[in-house]
A and B are shown apart, each in its own frame.
Chain A
Amino acid sequence: MHASIRRVYWWLIAPAVLLMLVFYIYPLFQVLWISVTDPVPGFGNYRELIERPLIHRIWLTTLRICVLTTAITVVAGYAVAYAMAQVGERQRTWMMFCVLLTFWLSVLIRAFAWVMLLRTEGLVNTGLQELGLISEPLRLVRNEFGVVVGMVHFMLPLAVLPIYSNMTGIDARLVSAARGLGASPIGAFLNVYLPLSKPGLISATILVFVFSLGFFITPALLGGGKVVMISEYIQVSFEETLRWGQATMLASTLLFSVLLSLALVARFVDLKKVFGAR
């Protein structure tokens, strides 16, 4: 490529880069800066990460919920995407519509809908009681179970879409060839199809896990105030107790953990390939 043309390209992306620098990178550095300067300069805020049991508990809750949500979402999303890749054009359109429909609904509406379904006098509990399957209503919401249900529901499209787009690129004849060479249906799936769909699985896992880390409304509503995840505690520190050093420290650790999980995954797979870059 000519140097002059390359220079033109640089100029073309300059406004976008500038915008990012001013409105994204600079505030991000401010957050990092506050985390080591407020209330006193030093790493006091980060020491709290090690010393305070409350912060341990909140981080453990966050990680536990994220891992659970990610595992369930990716498995369920894989099943949906697989079905979508196999069915006819008409059904596929409908399935895609249904997946995207939940994506367009407000997260608040979805959370309240789950409350209405899962509460002690809700549809699920009264239904099970009418059928005589349970005598006492089950605790399905305002606890960690409810939070995971709500989060899996929210995340499902984020898992289905990358897995499905990856699956559309898999040559179906390869599975037929494996079958023709004597593989059982399960064997053909496990040895041929599953490895080919790995990039989709990995990108879905990253996407869901990273999104889950920062979740705020769903745990706040479905957790009944008893499932406190890191974002909610950042909000409390920032707006209620005005401990900005602590809030920015937590926000920074959230950022680092996202980068860390990406770095870990990058050791095993080519991230460029996963996200579709050449």
Chain B
Amino acid sequence: MSLVKTLYEKDLYPEIEDAGHSDFARDCVEIASERLARGQIDRRTFMTALAALGALPAGLTVASRSAGAAAGELVVVNWGGPAVDAYAKAFGVPFEKATGVKVVIDGTGPLGSKIKAMVDAKAVTWDVCDTGTGTTLVLQKQGVLEKIDYSIVDKAKMQDIFAYEYGVPNYMFSFILAYNKTKVPSAPTGWKDFWDLAKFPGNRTMRKQPNGMLEACMMAAGRDPKSVYPIDIDLAVGKLKEIKDNVIAWGSGSQSQELFRTGEVVMGNIWHTRANLLSQETNGDVTWTWQDGIVTAGMWNVPKGNPAGAETAMKFIASSQDPDQQLVLFNAMGNGPANPAAAAMVPADKKHIDPGQPENLAVQVLQNGPWYEEDSGVRNLTNDELSREKWLDTLSS
């Protein structure tokens, strides 16, 4: 897949993917695939959604392999598996019905490196990509994305702070404090407790990347949740240093779950979707608090020079802001709706796993993308780039 991984092991062992890092978007697919395999959700969930939305137009194509765009077609790229069907039904069908533009869902995975390679080679075959805030920031600095046209996309249908210049939120998720009830003396109530090794002995897990971790560090350092930004990177990595010996870092979502399963950690800063799975499989032994959670978003990106044209892509994104469509995705995959209007429509028994519920939002921090984009003043790096470097440096020191 990439030229570097072919070094030695990759040739022998294709599963190498599992050892790497993953974005939240890809992780949702992994989770849904597992649930589908275990029979926890079935294809009828999709069919019910279908019935509500009207029949599947005959022309709608679902492609699991890389698709090339034809005229009057829009290629939406996500992470494959059940997400192909889920996206087709949540977003593809309604858009096609409204505009007549055929939506092809391509599940090959919109890796940032692939998007850059496509745009650099002027051979763009993708129109809309499902990435994250981190990838959006990296890609926009590389100048390979179309600017979001907020005259078409509605800023009112999202949390203000997630309206990036080059990305639009298509769902929300949170970094939260998860813990194993049976291994801590009392329930930790925030990041200060996370740092309290005397009161809560044992290992913790944090992510290999700083995104979502720096905020926790700042709160642990005593910064009020309302004024986490601007982040003092040195202060934040200094906090990591304090507990580093007790930190095991996770790369992919499944790794964060495994660390709890094997009993290697007693608490962790992980994605709420993984915490929810852990809670289910341990009958509530592992649980989490929304308190001081960090809400972030999955992002729609449009590669520069996309085949269907920027305007069509923007129209698709605008169409996907519809709360009904976002709810279909939430029910199928667990991705929290990005449109605040969808919060009230979430079924009562699922409100506790939706980061966007007003009561959950009230105790959390919304991640501030613009801060990550700002110049750090060091070697021409953005805060995002500098913090990635310092975070890794501290972890590996």
Chain A interface (Cβ within 8 Å of chain B)?
27, 31, 53-54, 57-58, 61, 106-108, 111, 115-116, 119-121, 142, 211, 214-217, 220-221, 224-228, 231, 233-236, 238-242, 244, 247, 251, 254
Contacts and interface: CB of A to CB of B under 8 A. Distances in A.
Nearest to A254: B7
A216 B12 CA distance: 12
B21 A224 contact: no
B139 interface: yes
B13 A217 contact: yes
A220 B15 CA distance: 13
B9 A225 contact: no
A247 B385 CA distance: 15
A61 B111 contact: no
A242 B263 contact: no
Contact of A238 (B2, B15, B392, B397): B2
Contacts of B396: 57-58, 61, 226-228
Interface string B78-100: 00000000000000000000000
B133 to A, nearest CB: 13
Interface string B6-40: 01111011011011110000000000000000000
Contact of A57 (B4, B9, B18, B393): B393
B8 A54 contact: no
Interface stretch (B243-251, B337-345, B349-357): B243-251
Contact of A214 (B8, B388, B392, B393): B8
B208 interface: yes
Given A120-B263, A235-B4, A220 B251 contact: yes
B113 A238 contact: yes
Contacts of B2: 235, 238-239
A108 B392 CA distance: 23
Contact of B138 (A119, A214, A231, A242): A242
A57 B15 contact: no
Given A142-B248, A228-B392, A241-B388, A106 B397 contact: no
A111 B389 CA distance: 27
Contact of A108 (B15, B21, B203): B15
B344 to A, nearest CB: 37
B116 interface: yes
- Pick the most buried of A108, A215, A239: most chain B CB atoms within 10 A of its CB: A239
Q: Which A-B residue pairs are the 9 nearest by beta carbons?
A: A225-B249, A214-B7, A224-B248, A228-B396, A217-B19, A234-B4, A54-B393, A121-B263, A225-B208
Given A31-B3, A235-B2, A235-B4, A240 B21 contact: yes
B204 to A, nearest CB: 11
Nearest to B1: A239
A251 B9 contact: no
Nearest to A54: B393
A200 B145 CA distance: 54
Interface residues of B, number: 44
A203 B39 CA distance: 52
A46 to B, nearest CB: 16
Contact of B3 (A27, A54, A217, A228): A27
Contacts of B249: 224-226
Nearest to A110: B13
B153 to A, nearest CB: 25
A239 B113 contact: yes
A106 B9 CA distance: 10
B13 A226 contact: no
- Pick the most buried of A57, A115, A217, A231: most chain B CB atoms within 10 A of its CB: A217
Nearest to A251: B4
B277 interface: no
A30 to B, nearest CB: 8
14 contacts: A54-B389, A54-B392, A57-B393, A61-B396, A121-B264, A142-B248, A221-B19, A235-B4, A235-B5, A241-B138, A244-B116, A247-B4, A251-B3, A251-B4
Contact of B112 (A27, A57, A231, A240): A240
B262 A115 contact: yes
B219 interface: no
A119 B4 contact: no
Nearest to A27: B3
Nearest to B209: A240
Nearest to B14: A106
B151 interface: no
Given A27-B3, A239-B111, A216 B395 contact: no
B283 interface: no
Contacts of B116: 242, 244
Contact of B263 (A27, A53, A119): A119
Contacts of A235: 2, 4-5, 20-21
